[in-house]
Amino acid sequence: EAGVTQSPTHLIKTRGQQATLRCSPISGHTSVYWYQQALGLGLQFLLWYDEGEERNRGNFPPRFSGRQFPNYSSELNVNALELEDSALYLCASSFRATGRDTEAFFGQGTRLTVV
């Protein structure tokens, strides 16, 4: 069974540009979470999608957005890139909302570098 896949593995963008990151959850999983892992800041919750809807977002500006498609894959868009957006972006999927009785499986992440 395929795990959570993220693409691209690495992405280099110029300040002010837009970045699009993609995530394919494990088959059967409907919940997708996005996390930012910036150096020195640990992992921070970005967005939660479930059944095609944005359910919650973390403390990030509106230029961080995304969507979930009918096949439950998800896209994270970061507009007007800033240098501090450079980080590892991790996607996780679960059958239901994380915590109650299910496990979140993580992808290998997309390393975004803003120059």
Q: For another protein, which is the closer residue by CB, 13 or 95?
A: 95
Contacting another protein within 77-106 (CB under 8 A): 88, 90, 92, 96-100, 103-106
Distance CA 23, CA 109 (A): 9
User: ω before 70 within 30° of 0 (cis)?
Assistant: no
Phi-psi region for residue 71, left (φ > 0), alpha (ψ -120 to 50) or beta? Answer: alpha
Shortest Cβ 91–another protein spacing (Å) = 10
Identify residues 23-52 at the interface with another protein (CB under 8 A). 31, 33, 35, 41-45, 48
- Of 67 and 111, nearer to another protein (C-beta) is 111
* Interaction site with another protein (CB under 8 A): 31, 33, 35, 41-45, 48, 55-56, 58, 88, 90, 92, 96-100, 103-109, 111
